Chain A
Amino acid sequence: MVNPTLVLELALVGIAFGAIYSLAALGIVLIYKTTGVLNFAHGAIGMFSTFIAYEFGVVRGWPAPVAVFLALAFAAVFGWFMERFTLRPLRDRPVLTRVIVTLGWLLVLQSVASLIWRDTSYHIPLQIFPQNGIQIAQLTLGYNQIANVVIAAALAALLALFLRFTALGVAMRATSDNPTAARLLGIRVNSVAASSWVLGSVTAAIAGLLLAPLTTLNTTQLTVVVITAFGAALIGGLTSLPLTFLGGIFLGMAQSLLILVIPAQLSGAKDVLTFVVILAVLLLRKEVRVLAISAVGGEGL
């Protein structure tokens, strides 16, 4: 008989993971919608930024806020650099060419991180929030978990407000709807692309920073989070931000609850689940999307 407390606890852990997947996925969708590039290096950018925070916050012992700031600054600069110098020149090339460039960056970031911080050793991630938690009845809620959900939800809401009410946000939506018309109307498509890469990369960094204390910090673990984030983004049809957010939460919970039905020692079951979800979404998307989008009400950024 399944213990209801356990189910609830697993679900809460799943939501904490899922919120981060959602955050990472929002960055992927933002970049995809404004520039048409699916960023395979998204997880790698998050991984590298997290290691920067580790380097300054843990190895050198600088204050955590400074380390976090440096990590986010790195992500922002790197996102800008990547767009400006390796993707903008290829803007008129086929999508797959530009995607291959992001795969190249994945290899580069992972390699440089392995060179600097070594592949094998155990890294203590920077703890931004206290590691204990609060007790409600029989449930333990970690501060980490609470913070993840709160931060992810707040950032998603901020992103929505930003896209709706700021000039740059409106320009991003216009570019995503119709790049040619946007350009004809005087929107600087280049700076819109650069901004969305900066924003998207920063979400990757935040996701990495929040995820690292919950998993292991090494050069692979955070890099492959991109697959789960793709899953969430695909649930949102690479279009809808609300559906993407829900998709991330769903994947996080499903992965967490999987332990109830599959023996824990069978590692990699999570990856099977992600694969099945991705495949199902892609193969059934035409059928499902019509339903889903009408349920959430409208699409677009």
Chain B
Amino acid sequence: MHSATRPARAPVGADLTRRLGRGSAAETAHVGSQTLKWLLRAPLLLALLLPGALGAYQLTVLTLALVYAIALVSLVLLTGFVGQVSLCQASFMGLGAFLCAALMGHYHLSYWIAAPIAIVVVFCSGVLAGLPALRLRGLTLAIVTLSLALLADNFLFQGLDWLNNNGNHWVISRPSVFGASLDHPDALFRVIFIALLLVMLAVVRLREGRTGKSWYAMRDAEIAASTSGVSVVAMKLLGFGLAAAIAAVAGVLYALAIGVVSPEPFNFVASIQLLAIAVIAGVRSLPGALAGALFYIILPQFLLQFPTLAPLTSLILGGGLILQMLFAPQGIGGILDDAQRRLFRRQTAPASAPQDEEGV
């Protein structure tokens, strides 16, 4: 790319989010407060009722879907709020899972100590991974993060003996909470459900506060934001760090839910799949993240009944991604947000007409 020899193309920067979501920051924040209420009402009921109503197998599948919902929240935060592309989010998830397992395996730490340490370490590595984003954007950032995903898979998860138990899988012994062993699917479901709820609440709070406003301002107009006193460096690094940490939360919970940590679920294809599902679901939408996660987990489980069809997941996600880019840019999340708005009959006028439509 050489600006002197070619006329200005559409900007390379945070176009993805700009094009996919239509809302201005104010409108999104408004949807956010609704999300908060929505979060507090229905799901708590579900959490009480579901474990009794479902069989152990369905409950396990649903638990895994909640784990991936957390992973997708990390992408919603990074891509949707901060406006940065990441093709290595599954790697942060894997790093969290492997670190947690390695700390438990090598130093016989309890899960409740190992998991937070893993999350903090991944937060720091997320900040480090965010450093290139201070100078790179769009395309080049996509290359760097995909290359990072490959590095994490081949060098860390498959290459480092300390991390991967000399090439054997880690087996996690599940702890107990308040006397209830997490080997029991009901207890496991409730713990992971509460974790998802806390993560989503935290993210919604963050989005509606000063941090979120800074992110939106930076995403929509970086230079303008920096002249208005937003520290672009701090905000970007914070975004990368937090997104990595949330992915790590998903990772340590994955270890808990599956009980085994191995490299396959965290390879570079998984990272691309995560981005695909986030884009299909709508990169700005938290309900979209939930819907996307349910789809992402339940579809392969359904396909497992026909073992030869397992790779179909990638086909459906890839095909969905292409078709959506061509025909339905706002994603499932956009549709859900609309439905939600109608459901709550909050017909406040859209805060302002979106001004960033030049790429559409």
Stretch with Cβ within 8 A of B (4 or more), from A123-131, A187-195, A270-278: A270-278
A216 / chain B contacts, CB cutoff of 8 Å: none
A103-B275, A239-B2 known; A230+B143 contact, CB < 8 A:
yes
Stretch with Cβ within 8 A of A (4 or more), from B144-152, B170-178, B241-249: B144-152
Quick check: is B322 within 8 A (CB to CB) of the other chain? yes
Bound: A107/B296 CA distance, A: 14
Whether A111 contacts B5 by the Cβ 8 Å rule is no
B237-286: which have CB < 8 Å to A?
267-269, 272-273, 275-276, 279
B158 / chain A contacts, CB cutoff of 8 Å: 267-268
Bound: A234/B140 CA distance, A: 9
A271-B154, A275-B148 known; A38+B322 contact, CB < 8 A:
no
Digit string of A261-272 for contact with B (CB within 8 Å is 1, else 0)? Answer: 000001111111
Quick check: is B10 within 8 A (CB to CB) of the other chain? yes
B1-55: which have CB < 8 Å to A?
1-2, 5-7, 9-12, 15-16, 18-19
Q: Is the interface of A mostly helix, strand, loop or mixed?
A: helix
Whether A93 contacts B359 by the Cβ 8 Å rule is yes
How many residues in B have their beta carbons less than 8 Å from beta carbons of A?
60
B258 CB → nearest A CB, Å: 20
B133-171: which have CB < 8 Å to A?
135-136, 138-140, 142-144, 146-148, 150-151, 153-156, 158-159
Closest to B143 in A: A230
Whether A114 contacts B322 by the Cβ 8 Å rule is no
A111 / chain B contacts, CB cutoff of 8 Å: 311-315, 318
Quick check: is A90 within 8 A (CB to CB) of the other chain? yes
Bound: A92/B275 CA distance, A: 22
B209 / chain A contacts, CB cutoff of 8 Å: none
Quick check: is A297 within 8 A (CB to CB) of the other chain? no
B7 / chain A contacts, CB cutoff of 8 Å: 178-180
A287 CB → nearest B CB, Å: 12
A92-112: which have CB < 8 Å to B?
92-101, 103-112
A92-B10, A268-B154 known; A278+B276 contact, CB < 8 A:
no
Bound: A107/B329 CA distance, A: 19
Whether B159 contacts A94 by the Cβ 8 Å rule is no
A56-94: which have CB < 8 Å to B?
86, 89-90, 92-94
**B residues at A contact (CB < 8 Å):** 1-2, 5-7, 9-12, 15-16, 18-19, 85, 87, 132, 135-136, 138-140, 142-144, 146-148, 150-151, 153-156, 158-159, 267-269, 272-273, 275-276, 279, 308-309, 311-315, 317-322, 325-326, 359-360
7 additional contacts, CB 8 Å, given A94-B359, A270-B154? A95-B138, A103-B321, A104-B276, A106-B272, A107-B272, A108-B318, A115-B309
Report, nearest first, the 10 A-B pairs whose CB atoms are least far apart: A107-B318, A268-B155, A94-B15, A268-B154, A111-B314, A104-B321, A114-B311, A111-B315, A108-B318, A268-B159
**A residues at B contact (CB < 8 Å):** 36, 38, 40, 86, 89-90, 92-101, 103-112, 114-115, 119, 176-180, 220, 224, 227, 230-231, 234, 237-239, 266-272, 274-275, 278-279, 282-283, 299-300
